[in-house]
């Protein structure tokens, strides 16, 4: 026994066309709306879900300082700035590299390093991942230490 398929009704075809046009229209509109299309004050704290905007979700250089109102950012809103440090040895007449990590969930803001005697020369000091890394050369005849410091913003 063979089954014959019924042709789709004109109503079904029209409904599908309407569905695809409406989906496509929303997608097109969403791709065309940018920040310049929003009125000032259109997106307010009340309209945003709690924790919808976090440091991890903000694109680098997206927030310009001239767009931030006076007193809009306070220490209570930022989080706690912590200092992490690590002391590492550098043998006489040698070079060594070490670093320090911020606690989990924190972001590195800055850092540096300092040696314990005049024979220590800092060769490099830079952020790395979520911490700070330093390379130092000890030009003296005795062992030295270097302290690496990271300033971290807890989230």
**CA dist., res. 5 & res. 149, Å (int):** 75
Domain ranges of the chain: 9-38, 79-153
The pTM of the full predicted model, rounded to 2 decimals, is: 0.51
Does residue 68 or residue 85 have the better pLDDT?
85
For residues 4 and 117, the model is more confident at 117
What's the confidence (pLDDT) of residue 13?
83
Band (64; pLDDT cuts 50, 70, 90): low
CA dihedral 147→152→106→126, nearest 10 degrees, is -60
pLDDT score of 51 more than 90:
no
């Amino acid at each position: 026994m063979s089954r014959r398929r019924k042709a789709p009704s004109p109503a079904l075809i029209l409904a599908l066309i309407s569905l695809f046009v409406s989906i496509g229209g929303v997608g097109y509109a969403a791709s065309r709306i940018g920040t310049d299309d929003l009125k000032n004050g259109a997106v307010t704290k009340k309209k945003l879900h709690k924790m919808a905007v976090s440091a991890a979700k903000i694109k680098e250089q997206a927030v310009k300082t001239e767009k931030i109102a006076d007193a809009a950012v306070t220490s209570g809103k930022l989080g706690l700035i912590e200092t992490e440090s690590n002391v590492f040895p550098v043998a006489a007449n040698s070079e060594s590299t070490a670093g320090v990590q911020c606690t989990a969930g924190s972001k590195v803001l800055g850092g540096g390093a300092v040696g314990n005697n005049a024979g220590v020369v800092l060769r490099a000091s830079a952020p790395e991942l979520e911490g700070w890394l330093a390379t130092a050369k000890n030009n003296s005849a005795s062992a030295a230490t270097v302290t690496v410091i990271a300033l971290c913003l807890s989230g």
